[in-house]
Structure 1
Amino acid sequence: MIKEKGQALLDYINRYVSLTEEEEAILLSKVTYRKYLKGQFIVQQGDVCKYESFVLSGCTKTFHVDNEGQEHILMFSIEDWWTADMGSFITQNPADYNVQCLEHTELIMFSYDIIEGLYAVIPKLERFFRQIIQNAFIASQKRIVRSFSLSAKDRYVYFRNQYPKIEQRIPQYMIASYLGITKEFLSKIKSELIQEQ
């Protein structure tokens, strides 16, 4: 079953580095496959993030809960995306973020020790994961710039254009949280955009 489920992961990896059949077999022999129900947590704030996970199906949100109990959404992940508290995973220190399933979700998961071992056996995987982390870092920096240089309306338009498959799958109040605005303000923005069409 892992071979069948793992093809999506192999296709993804092969966009960045070229694995031999032997390397693919080694990789798939080391992964964990798991299903989560809607609402289940993959990582909880304060726990150590034990896995870096590739989403086969479903949708997750990564968020922080502040001292007032307010939820701040950092990102969403859908098919062909990765999800984890990356800082916690890399350092093996307690997580700052929660990762929760918004739908029934299927994942291929790599534990910290497994990834470190795979780097030794298949060195090109280290290059692959470095590229993934670099891309995530660049996207994070660009998002920070957008958050203080674009209006809320422009941030929403960017989100809608950049992630058209996500908007239909998650509640409006979560999109508002991701954009750093209230759901009422998001409704107002959407109304304005409809009027402008």
Structure 2
Amino acid sequence: MFETLLTYIKRHSESSLSDEDIMLIKKSFLFKSLKKKELFLEQGKVCQYTGFIIKGATRQFSIDASGIEHVIQLSIENWWSVDRESFLMKAPSVYNIEAWEDTDLLVLSLENLERIHSIPAIKEMFWQMNQSNFIASQKRLNYSISLPALERYEEFLKHYPEFVQRFPQHTIASYLGISKETLSRVRNKYVHK
């Protein structure tokens, strides 16, 4: 179970991990298993953990005053699932994070994150993750305000082809900021291109 996480850390850092580093990492993470549809985070609660997905998938979403869901993040194996603002600021979350499939995670509290953050490989990994997350968020924002639905869908397929197999169309439509009817039309155009 920890091998997946350790491989991820090594892939996203240049520093090596000592045996002591590995022991501290293993002591700092807890295993958590979620059943499909079980919440990892409930809107209005403080996000207590960041979770590294070993197996399964999650979706992060908010629900507006009209009861409409707005998906802001989809995550699968080797991704992290967290509401960063709530986790770091200890503020109530405006999001839910739900297991879309039966999901196994290694979870890390803020206190334990601060404990392992002195490990150079961990510091480098989180720096790289933050940079990648910022770039992806910036691209997604740009796509949502400047690209028509078909091009948004094409970008989604190019960057996250495995998501189409794992998440239903209405979830993908919400993530793209379009209606499921629009996504259906877009998919038909895409197939006949």
| AA matched with 1:9 | L
Aligned to 2:24: 26
Offset from partner CA, 1:55-99 (integer Å, 9 cap, x none): 001010011111111110011000000011011111111112111
Distance of aligned partners of 1:124 and 1:12 in 2 relative to their CA distance in 1, 3 Å threshold:
closer
Offset from partner CA, 1:120-159 (integer Å, 9 cap, x none): 4x25423322321222122111110111111100000111
The partner residue of 1:190 within 181, 187, 190 is 187
CA contact (8 A) 2:9 2:121 kept: no
Structure 2 distance, partners of 1:190, 1:102, is 22
Aligned to 2:84: 86
Structure 1 distance, partners of 2:191, 2:74, is 25
Q: Which runs of 5+ in 2 are unaligned?
A: none
The partner residue of 1:112 within 104, 110, 129 is 110
Structure 1 distance, partners of 2:48, 2:97, is 12
Structure 2 distance, partners of 1:161, 1:127, is 27
Query: What is the root-mean-square deviation of aligned Cα atoms in Å?
Result: 1.2
Aligned to 1:16: 12
Q: Is 1:154 equivalent to 2:141 in the alignment?
A: no
| AA matched with 1:104 | D
The partner residue of 2:160 within 158, 163, 188 is 163
If asked which structure has higher relative contact order (CA below 8 Å, sep 6+), I would say 2
Aligned to 1:181: 178
| AA matched with 1:16 | H
Q: TM-score, normalised by structure 1?
A: 0.93
In the TM superposition, residue 119 of structure 1 has moved relative to its aligned partner by 2.0
The partner residue of 1:73 within 56, 71, 81 is 71
Structure 2 distance, partners of 1:71, 1:180, is 11
In the TM superposition, residue 26 of structure 1 has moved relative to its aligned partner by 1.4
CA contact (8 A) 2:10 2:121 kept: no
Q: Which runs of 5+ in 1 are unaligned?
A: none
Q: TM-score, normalised by structure 2?
A: 0.95
| AA matched with 1:110 | L
The partner residue of 1:132 within 129, 133, 145 is 129
For residue 53 of structure 2, give the secondary structure of its aligned residue in structure 1. strand
Aligned residues, how many?
191
| AA matched with 1:8 | T
Superposition misfits of 4+ residues, deviation over 3 angstroms = none
| AA matched with 1:10 | L
Aligned to 1:43: 41
